[in-house]
Amino acid sequence: MEIQPDEIKETVKERYSELARQQQTISCCGSDEKQACCGPNALYSREQLTGIPDGIADSSLGCGDPTAIADLKPGEVVLDLGCGGGLDCFLAARRVGKAGKVIGLDMTSDMIDLASDNARKMGATNVEFRLGEMEQMPVDNESVDAIISNCVINLSPDKDAVFREAFRVLKPGGRLAISDKALLAELPEVLQDNPDAWSCCIAGAINKDDYLAKIKAAGFTDLTAEEEKTPLFVELGCGCGEDDCAGSTAERLDLSNTVINLRVRARKPG
């Protein structure tokens, strides 16, 4: 039976609520042994993380660094879709400066609480966090200069709505900078319509060409994309590659040539 959007959202929300409460560091970017634990140090430079407390720096749940491709400028307003614990927001806040503003959006109240607490620890005064969904963003029309997102849009059951909303809230000439998961080939059937695989940034990934087509269909132009393969293994029945999978006799799937990291830039005409 095909999984329903509400079930997807509830499964994703439950998993990330638990991660926020435990402040775990399971990532969607893969490793040579399992689908987790690449850690933020593989995504960000030492210079970028200077001055950011370890607990915040280690909380990345992403698969890339969208701030590195967003060309952020002082004074700009930035929206982070699926902000999690807020790391990318804080990195963006440094780039836009005190005259700028960063809005972190997340559908999980526990993540909003964690991000807000991290902001207090950072003393970040140009960052705010909003509870809401990417498919219906609580953001005004044409109010944002740049949108960033890190391994989150794949989790949405309605990606067309996400890109339409992104187009709506961006100012004319505004920019989209995304790090995400996409597919080069069809997933094994056992992972399709699998709620746990959705929450682990796998089942929600779609074909790379389809992903880019959705962005264009929303009205974006000047689209560029870069892809990267990384070792990615999933052990069925072991969640997202947690340590308790060690020694498991569960079937082990190699998705290294199926799931890719995708970096996308695009612009709203204006």
User: Which pLDDT does position 36 carry in this prediction?
Assistant: 39
Predicted confidence (pLDDT) per residue in 146-196, tens digit: 999 999 999 999 999 999 999 999 999 999 999 999 999 999 999 988 888
The pLDDT confidence band at residue 31, using thresholds 50, 70 and 90, is very low
Domains and CATH numbers, the chain: 5-267 (3.40.50.150)
The pLDDT confidence band at residue 108, using thresholds 50, 70 and 90, is very high
Helical pair 109-122 and 87-96, crossing angle rounded to 10 deg: 50
User: Which pLDDT does position 172 carry in this prediction?
Assistant: 98
The pLDDT confidence band at residue 71, using thresholds 50, 70 and 90, is very high
Instruction: State the residue for tokens 């399709």.
Output: 192
Give pTM, 2 decimals.
0.90
Q: Which of 251, 242, 234 is nearest to 37 (CA)?
A: 242
Bridge partners of residue 103, in order along the sequence: 79, 128
Helix (H) or strand (E) holding 195: helix 195-199
Specify the range with the lowest mean pLDDT, choosing from 164-168, 201-205, 242-246: 242-246
Taking CA 61 as the corner, what is the angle to CA 59 and CA 62, rounded to the nearest 5 degrees?
125
